[in-house]
Copies of this chain bind each other. A is one copy, B any other.
């Protein structure tokens, strides 16, 4: 290409990525929050995030936050929406591109001890007040996850590689905040071929050993609709 002039030094808004990190453990859907040590919103809980560096893609920024600050790698990420209220950050004009992430808390280093009292999982039903416009971002992320799980197998990112049907069922009930018929759920999930029985059983329980399933990674493009019952 010829005659291409680089951009003039326009003044551009700051560009940040904010992350809604969902985790699921013990029948509870949680979000990871950071307690800020600096103004603005000092001592408030907020979503983790970072400014975009030149040459960095959104996903890279997300990964940087997740691995550097939170010790997580290989995380499911999806872009949510971009937020542009002029006063959303009191320090100046800042655009936020929000992503949500699904992680398995039991495979992740973030514990109550690590990174002190800065970072913590919160049950999504017991969230503290959030700084910036992060409450809005969180609400959108939750709605997106609830919608997505009905037509795309995304919940597996929150579970161990092997899981029982009951664990998957509980996860769906928890995300959708609705009771789902156990038998109908099983049939739909199996019909859609989202998961594969491994033949292995979970052992050491006081009762019948349930089958262990794994996610079917090469699933067909059958447009699946998990209607709630």
Contacts and interface: CB of A to CB of B under 8 A. Distances in A.
A6 B39 CA distance: 11
A179 interface: no
A95 to B, nearest CB: 7
Contacts of A93: 54-55
A82 interface: yes
Nearest to A57: B84
A2 B39 contact: yes
Query: Interface SS of chain A: helix, strand, loop or mixed?
Result: loop
A7 B39 contact: no
A1 B39 contact: yes
Interface of A: 1-7, 10-15, 39-40, 51-52, 54-55, 57-58, 79, 81-82, 84-86, 90-95, 97
A7 B3 contact: no
B15 A7 contact: no
Given A1-B39, A2-B39, A13-B52, 4 more contacts: A7-B92, A55-B93, A58-B82, A82-B82
A94 B15 CA distance: 11
24 contacts: A1-B40, A1-B90, A2-B39, A4-B39, A4-B40, A4-B90, A6-B91, A6-B92, A7-B14, A10-B14, A11-B54, A12-B14, A12-B15, A12-B52, A13-B15, A13-B54, A57-B84, A58-B82, A58-B84, A79-B81, A79-B82, A82-B82, A82-B97, A84-B97
